[in-house]
C-alpha cells in the first residue's frame, strides 16, 4: 500500500514536499498457473508458527481449534485451496448477499471449523468431506467471536484423519448476508458521479490488511494463499472489474452477472473488486513472458479506468504505468504474472494507492495529471505508480509470511519506486529528495523511545494497521538502499531475482531474502543486517579528531531525540558502513562493527566527511573544528548536494537532542545558504527555521519575530532573484527552488511577495480562463491570499474549491484550495472550516488536509483545532471509522504540533478515558515529540537569545 505513515493528506503513507506542497502532502489472464502444489505446494497446511516463519511441514498440529493465543492466528487443521465467491451487492440499500464454496484440505483431525468473518451473518454452512455431506449448520449454530473477528462452525462429531492418508478433501458451501461499508475498508461505497454528471456511488474493496473477512468468510491471513473465482451481480450499466479478466457476463433486466477467470494463488488481502460507471484508455506493455526468440516480451494490456468525466486526465499516468511495468519485468527478469493490468482512479480511497494484483487502485490525485499539474505532484504520481506496480512481484507474487515482515513488502516497494523514478527522470534527482524527506521521516520516527523494530511483533488485529508507518516504509527503504550500495546494485538485484524465483506464489521472511542475497554476494548478509532489523533505533557516530591529525576516534551509541540513552537503552552495536571521504581521497568502504574504532585520514586533509552520500542510516556528530572545516568546504563547493544535506540534517537533529547548541546550527546557516544551489538545501533550512519557530512560539514573542526576520533575510532575496516566471527549458530543480523560495519568503513576512501573490489571486479569481501565474505556484498563491489577505479571499477560495471546474483546477489544486481555507487567521473562520471539513463537501480522506494545514498556519491555530477535536471527537470517529488508519493520522496531526509540557499532560489525560487501540502508537510518539521540543527550548533558550541579540 502506498504510504500510510505520518500526517497524510493526498496519499496515505506519502512524504511531505515543501511549503504549501509540504502541508498538502502531509495533511494526502487466462494462463496456466499449474497445479496448486506446483504453485507453492498448498496441499498440506502450515501451522500458525510455520505461517509466521514462512515455512511449512507435512505434519499437522494436534487436534484442537482454539485460535493461536500468541499471534491471533486461525487454527491450522484446514487449509483453503480455492474460493468460488458469488456476491450480489445492493448499493442503494447497502445490503450484501452472497455465497462461497471453499475447497480445502484437512491435515489433522478437527471438530470445529474457524474462519474469519466480520459484519457477516452466516445463514447456512454445508460441510462435505471427500464429497459426502457431513453436516448442515444453520445460523443459530454459528458462534461468533467479535474480538477475534471469527465465526466457528461446530460439527456433530470429530472428523478423524485416517491413518492411511495424510489429508482429507473438505468443501464448505456457505451462504451469508453482509453490509456494504460507508467507510473506506472492506467492501464499500465510494462517492462518484455517473455518466450524466449526477452524484452516484461505485463499489470498491480495500481488503488490506484484514478486511476481506468483511466481504466473505475466509482464512484472512497473508500466508494462507488460495485461488479465487469470482462472480459478481451489479447494475447493467456498471463496468465490473476484478484481479482477473472477465470470461463472460449474463444480462437480466437492470442487472447483469459478471464471471471472472480463476486467479493464481494469492493472499486474501489482494482480492479486489471495483464496479461503477467507468471509462478507460488502454495501451500495451511488453512485460509478459519472453517470446520464443527470447529477445522480446509478450504484450500485456494495460488500462486506466476513471469516472466518465475524467478520462482525459490520465494519459500521462497510463504512459508511466506501461514504462514502469516493462522496466520491472526486465529488472526482475520475471514476466508480469497476470494477463492484464488495470489501474483505477477511486474518488474515496484510504491510502494513496493499493496494489491489488492486477487491479491497482489509486486516489484520483495520483492519476489525474494534466498540463495544470504542478511538478511536485507529477513526481509523486510517477513514484506512487512505480511503488504500487513493484508490489505485483514484491508483495503479491512473493508475500510476507506474517505482518511482522511487512517491511519486506513496503520497504522494498518504496526503494524500487524511487529507483525507477530516478531512472525515468534523472533530472529530478529523486535520491536527493529521498535524503531530505523519506530518510528523515525514518530517522525522526526511529529516534523516539516509543519507536519499534522494523521487524515488530504483531499479536492482534489492532497492531497491524499501525505498522504501516515511517519505520516500515522509510527505514525499510533506507536499509535496502544501504545494503544495495554496499553489495553493489548488480549483485543486489541478482539476489532479489533469486528470491523471487524461489518463493514465487508463496510466502517468505526477512531471513529468506538475506539467504538469497548471501548466495549472490558470498557475504554474511544476515549477520550484517540483524542489528538493523531486529532492534529498535539507529546509531549516532561521535567523531573525536583532537588526539591525532591523521586518525579519527569513532564511537557509536543509540541516537535518541530526547537526549543520550541510558545504559539499558544502549545495548545494540550496529554494523556501520563508514563511507569516509576527504579533501584528498575518494570514499573508502570501511566498516565499524564494534562500539569504538579508529580510522586514518591523510595528514594534510583540509576536511573529512563520514557517511558519503548518506548511504548509511545513522547520524554523525562532528567536533566544532571539523564543522568549521566542512563549512569552508561547503562554501567552496567541494561537497556534493547529498553530502551537504546530510551534514545539515544531522546538525538539525543533534541540536534538537542536545548534542549541539542551537547557536552552532545558526552559525552554519549562512554557509549553507551561501553555497546552496539545490532546492533540497533551502528546503531543510526552511524546515529548521519553522521547527525553531514552532518550538519557541508558545514561549517567546520576541524570538518568534527574530526567527522570521532571519528567515526573511535568507528567502526574500532568493525569491526576488528567482522571480515568478519559469524560463523555457529551465532545469526542473530550479523551478522547484523557485516554488520553495516564494512561499517561504511569504511565511517569513516578505511584503513584496505577499502583495504580489494577493494581486495574482484576485486577478485569477476575476478571470478564471486566464491564469496569471505558473501552476507550480497555485498552492502557494492560494495559501498566501487566505493567510495574509482579507476574509473575502477566504470566501473566494471556498467558491473555487466547490466550483473547481469554472477555474479549470486540476485535482491537486482543488485540494490546495481546501488546504488554503484552513490558513485563515480568523478564529471564527477556523471553526467554520473545521465544521465544513465534516460536511459532505469534504471527503473523509481529505479531513486531514484541513487539519494538517490549520495546526501549523498560525501560532494559536493548533489550540483552536485541539478544542474543536475534543468537542467533536465522536463525530470524527464516526466519520472516519474507529478502526481506520486515517483516524490515527488525524490524531497525530491534531496533537503533534505542541511544544510545552502542560499540553502534553492535558493530551495524556484526555485520551486516558478513550478507546485508543487503533492509534495507541501515535499518542506516545506525539507526546514524546512535544516533550523533546519543550526540552530543547528549556535547554537552549538563553543560547538562542544570545545568538539573536548579536545577529541583530
* Catalytic site positions: 388
- Cα 15 to Cα 438: distance, rounded to the nearest angstrom: 6
* 3-state SS string for 765-817: HHCCCCCCCCHHHHHHHHHHHHHHCCHHHHHHHHHHHHCHHHHCCCHHHHHHH
Cell numbers 464471471 label which residue? 259
Burial class (CB in 10 A: 0-12, 13-18, 19+), 93: exposed
* CA neighbor of 325 nearest in space, from 368, 388, 414: 388
Identify whether the C-beta of residue 794 lies closer than 8 Å to the C-beta of residue 786.
Answer: yes
* CA neighbor of 330 nearest in space, from 390, 266, 371: 390
Q: How far is CA 316 from CA 313, 369, 385, in A?
A: 8, 6, 11
- Cα 946 to Cα 938: distance, rounded to the nearest angstrom: 14
Residue 604: CB atoms within 10 A of its CB come to 10
Burial class (CB in 10 A: 0-12, 13-18, 19+), 117: buried
Pairing relation of β-strands 619-621 and 539-548?
parallel
- Cα 881 to Cα 119: distance, rounded to the nearest angstrom: 14
Give the DSSP H or E segment for 882.
none
* CA neighbor of 259 nearest in space, from 232, 239, 236: 232
Taking every pair of Cα atoms in the chain, the longest distance, rounded to a whole number of angstroms, is: 90
Burial class (CB in 10 A: 0-12, 13-18, 19+), 60: buried
Beta-ladder partners of 151: 115, 144
| Distance, first Cα to last Cα, the chain | 49
Q: How far is CA 429 from CA 5, 12, 218, 380, 423, in A?
A: 23, 23, 45, 13, 9
* CA neighbor of 876 nearest in space, from 906, 914, 905, 908: 914
Identify whether the C-beta of residue 518 lies closer than 8 Å to the C-beta of residue 237.
Answer: no
Q: What are phi and psi of 584, to 5 degrees?
A: -115, -10
- Cα 514 to Cα 510: distance, rounded to the nearest angstrom: 6
Residues 6+ apart with CB under 8 A from 420: 324, 327, 328, 386, 390
Amino acid at each position: 500500500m502506498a504510504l500510510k505513515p505520518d500526517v497524510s493528506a493526498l496519499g496515505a503513507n506519502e512524504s511531505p514536499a515543501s511549503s504549501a506542497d509540504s502541508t498538502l502532502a502531509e495533511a494526502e489472464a487466462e494462463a496456466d498457473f499449474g497445479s496448486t502444489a506446483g504453485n507453492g505446494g498448498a496441499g498440506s497446511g502450515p501451522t500458525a508458527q510455520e505461517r509466521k516463519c514462512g515455512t511449512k511441514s507435512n505434519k499437522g498440529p494436534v487436534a484442537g481449534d482454539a485460535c493461536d493465543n500468541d499471534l491471533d492466528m486461525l487454527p491450522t487443521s484446514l487449509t483453503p485451496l480455492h474460493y468460488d465467491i458469488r456476491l450480489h451487492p445492493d448499493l442503494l440499500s447497502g445490503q450484501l448477499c452472497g455465497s462461497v464454496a471453499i475447497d480445502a484440505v484437512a491435515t489433522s483431525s478437527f471438530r470445529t471449523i474457524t474462519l474469519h468473518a466480520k459484519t457477516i451473518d452466516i445463514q447456512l454452512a454445508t460441510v462435505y468431506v471427500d464429497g459426502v455431506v457431513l453436516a448442515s449448520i444453520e445460523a443459530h449454530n454459528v458462534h461468533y467471536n467479535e474480538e477475534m473477528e471469527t465465526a466457528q462452525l461446530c460439527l456433530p462429531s470429530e472428523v478423524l484423519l485416517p491413518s492411511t492418508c495424510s489429508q482429507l478433501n473438505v468443501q464448505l458451501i456457505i451462504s451469508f448476508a453482509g453490509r456494504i461499508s460507508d467507510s473506506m475498508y472492506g467492501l464499500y461505497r465510494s462517492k462518484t458521479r455517473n455518466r450524466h454528471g449526477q452524484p452516484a456511488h461505485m463499489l470498491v474493496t480495500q481488503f488490506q490488511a484484514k478486511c476481506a473477512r468483511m466481504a466473505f468468510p475466509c482464512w484472512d491471513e497473508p500466508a494462507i494463499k488460495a485461488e479465487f473465482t469470482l462472480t459478481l451481480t451489479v447494475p447493467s450499466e456498471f463496468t465490473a472489474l476484478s484481479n482477473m479478466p472477465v470470461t463472460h457476463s449474463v444480462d437480466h433486466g437492470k442487472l447483469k452477472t459478471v464471471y471472472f477467470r480463476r486467479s493464481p494463488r494469492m493472499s486474501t488481502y489482494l482480492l479486489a473488486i471495483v464496479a461503477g460507471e467507468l471509462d478507460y484508455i488502454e495501451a500495451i506493455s511488453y512485460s509478459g513472458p519472453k517470446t520464443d526468440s527470447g529477445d522480446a516480451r509478450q504484450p500485456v494490456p494495460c488500462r486506466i479506468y476513471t469516472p466518465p468525466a475524467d478520462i482525459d486526465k490520465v494519459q500521462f499516468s497510463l504512459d508511466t504505468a506501461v514504462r514502469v511495468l516493462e522496466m520491472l519485468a526486465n529488472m526482475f527478469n520475471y514476466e508480469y504474472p497476470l494477463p492484464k493490468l488495470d489501474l483505477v482512479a477511486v474518488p474515496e480511497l484510504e491510502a494513496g494507492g493499493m496494489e491489488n494484483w492486477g487491479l491497482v487502485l489509486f486516489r484520483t490525485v495520483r492519476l489525474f495529471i494534466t498540463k495544470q499539474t504542478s511538478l511536485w505532484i507529477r513526481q509523486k504520481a510517477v513514484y506512487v505508480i512505480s511503488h504500487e506496480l513493484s508490489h505485483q512481484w514484491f508483495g503479491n507474487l512473493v508475500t510476507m509470511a506474517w505482518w511482522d515482515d511487512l517491511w519486506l513488502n513496503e520497504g522494498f516497494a518504496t526503494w524500487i519506486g524511487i529507483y525507477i523514478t530516478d531512472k525515468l527522470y534523472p533530472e529530478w534527482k529523486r535520491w536527493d529528495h529521498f535524503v531530505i524527506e523519506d530518510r528523515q521521516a525514518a530517522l525522526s520516527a526511529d529516534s523516539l523511545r516509543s519507536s519499534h523494530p522494523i521487524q515488530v511483533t504483531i499479536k492482534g488485529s489492532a497492531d497491524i494497521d499501525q505498522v504501516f508507518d515511517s519505520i516500515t516504509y522509510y527505514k525499510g527503504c533506507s536499509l535496502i538502499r544501504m545494503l544495495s550500495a554496499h553489495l553493489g546494485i548488480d549483485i543486489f538485484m541478482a539476489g532479489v531475482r533469486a528470491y523471487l524465483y524461489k518463493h514465487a506464489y508463496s510466502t517468505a521472511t526477512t531471513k529468506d531474502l538475506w539467504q538469497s542475497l548471501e548466495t549472490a554476494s558470498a557475504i554474511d548478509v544476515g549477520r550484517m543486517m540483524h542489528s538493523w532489523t531486529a532492534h529498535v533505533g539507529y546509531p549516532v557516530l561521535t567523531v573525536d579528531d583532537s588526539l591525532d591529525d591523521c586518525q579519527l576516534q569513532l564511537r557509536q551509541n543509540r541516537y535518541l531525540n530526547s537526549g543520550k540513552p541510558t545504559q539499558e537503552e544502549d545495548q545494540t552495536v550496529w554494523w556501520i558502513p563508514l563511507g569516509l571521504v576527504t579533501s584528498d581521497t575518494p570514499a573508502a568502504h570501511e566498516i565499524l562493527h564494534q562500539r569504538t574504532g579508529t580510522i586514518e585520514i591523510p595528514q594534510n586533509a583540509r576536511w573529512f566527511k563520514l557517511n558519503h552520500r548518506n548511504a548509511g542510516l545513522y547520524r554523525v556528530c562532528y567536533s566544532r573544528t571539523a564543522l568549521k572545516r566542512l563549512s569552508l568546504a561547503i562554501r567552496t563547493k567541494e561537497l556534493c548536494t547529498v553530502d551537504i544535506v546530510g551534514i545539515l540534517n544531522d546538525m538539525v537533529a543533534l541540536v534538537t537532542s542536545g548534542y549541539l547548541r542551537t547557536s552552532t546550527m545558526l552559525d552554519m546557516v549562512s554557509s549553507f545558504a551561501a553555497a546552496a544551489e539545490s532546492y533540497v538545501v533551502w528546503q531543510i533550512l526552511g524546515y529548521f527555521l519553522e521547527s525553531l519557530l514552532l518550538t519557541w512560539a508558545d514561549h517567546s514573542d520576541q524570538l518568534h519575530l527574530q526567527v522570521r526576520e532571519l528567515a526573511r533575510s535568507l528567502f526574500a532575496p532568493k525569491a526576488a532573484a528567482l522571480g515568478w516566471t519559469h524560463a523555457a527549458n529551465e532545469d526542473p530543480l530550479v523551478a522547484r527552488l523557485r516554488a520553495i523560495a516564494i512561499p517561504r519568503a511569504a511565511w517569513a513576512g516578505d511584503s513584496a511577495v505577499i502583495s504580489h501573490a494577493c494581486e495574482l489571486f484576485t486577478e485569477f479569481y476575476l478571470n478564471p480562463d486566464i491564469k496569471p501565474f505558473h501552476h507550480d505556484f497555485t498552492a502557494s498563491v492560494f495559501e498566501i491570499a487566505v493567510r495574509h489577505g482579507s476574509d473575502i479571499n477566504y470566501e473566494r477560495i471556498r467558491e473555487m474549491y466547490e466550483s473547481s471546474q469554472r477555474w479549470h483546477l486540476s485535482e491537486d489544486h482543488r485540494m490546495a484550495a481546501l488546504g488554503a481555507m484552513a490558513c485563515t487567521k480568523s478564529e471564527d473562520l477556523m471553526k467554520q472550516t473545521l465544521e465544513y471539513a465534516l460536511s459532505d463537501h469534504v471527503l473523509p480522506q481529505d479531513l486531514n488536509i484541513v487539519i494538517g494545514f490549520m495546526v501549523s498556519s498560525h501560532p494559536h491555530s493548533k489550540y483552536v483545532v485541539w478544542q474543536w477535536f475534543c468537542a467533536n471527537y465522536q463525530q470524527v470517529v464516526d466519520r472516519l471509522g474507529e478502526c481506520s488508519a486515517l483516524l490515527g493520522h488525524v490524531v497525530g496531526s491534531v496533537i503533534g504540533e505542541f511544544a510545552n509540557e502542560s499540553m502534553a499532560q492535558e493530551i495524556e489525560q484526555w485520551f486516558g478515558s478513550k478507546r485508543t487501540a487503533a492509534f495507541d502508537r501515535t499518542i506516545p510518539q506525539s507526546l514524546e515529540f512535544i516533550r523533546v521540543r519543550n526540552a530543547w527550548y528549556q535547554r537552549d533558550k538563553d543560547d538562542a537569545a544570545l545568538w539573536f541579540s548579536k545577529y541583530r
